[in-house]
Amino acid sequence: MKKLLFLFFIFPIIAEAQERENRYEVEAGMITTSNMEIYGYGQANATQGWKANGFTYRLEYWNIKQDGWNFGAVFQPLDLNYSSKLTSNLNAKNNVFVNGNNATLNYQFPTMRFTGNYPVYGSDSGNYLRAGGSAIIRYAKVGLSSSTGSFSDTNLIPIPTINLETSTAIGGNYSLFTRSDFLPSIGGNVLWDGLYDVYFGVRKKLNGGATLGAGMRLFFGGYTTSTPGDYSNKIFFKSYVIRYTW
């Protein structure tokens, strides 16, 4: 995690040498769980209906050029704790978790991403579409424990994603704004075995070039195991956030 934070703070110094415009963005709000699934190979979901809420924030640095490439560095932590009854038996990681027992789950999914996108459409009214890609470095942790066993599974891997950004003027100083990173699954379920991080909202231009916005971020995806003794994990989170850019 210290290495990810180092990259986030050193990236603006590198990009600033290109003598382009620097932008900083802060996002904060509440995150809620729409879906949390953990199940073993050939088994049912053991965490059906589990819910957790928490505070979420996101830090972004962008080195931008209106008619050229934009480059961004984004850091977003994610750490949620669940406590409920297991809704099915789970055999995973050499442990047996029994249906009906109380269990706790610590789920972490912080990400560090580096993005580049380029304008593919623009108009005099300020509407635009930018497309590119992101390299996401993501750390994942699933820590599950009950009276019959426990495990803590972690990994750190890079993930390439498609990046899209749009803005559409809606009158005055207001616009509809979206920015998304996504990687559809090829070998499995297109949505639930991929990775999707989608933001959409409304923003207003303020004095001095700053903007203030509000909207929703959807984060969902997962993987399905094909290995007996392993487990599958599928998630869907919603965040209601405000964004400030300067």
Domains, the chain, in order of start with CATH, read 2-245 (2.40.160.20)
Distance CA 210, CA 113 (A): 23
pTM, full prediction: 0.87
- Position 11 scores a pLDDT of 53
- Position 215 scores a pLDDT of 98
- The angle formed by the CA atoms of residues 117, 59 and 12, to the nearest 5 degrees, is 60
- Position 186 scores a pLDDT of 77
DSSP at 229: T
Distance CA 193, CA 30 (A): 25
The neighbouring-strand residues paired with 117 are: 70, 132
- Position 9 scores a pLDDT of 53
Q: How many CB atoms lie within 10 A of CB 8?
A: 18
Q: Nearest 5°: phi and psi at 41?
A: -60, 120
- Position 245 scores a pLDDT of 98
DSSP at 191: T
Signed CA dihedral, 184, 233, 57, 205: sign only: positive
Residues of the chain with pLDDT under 70: 1-18
Coil vs helix vs strand at 243:
strand
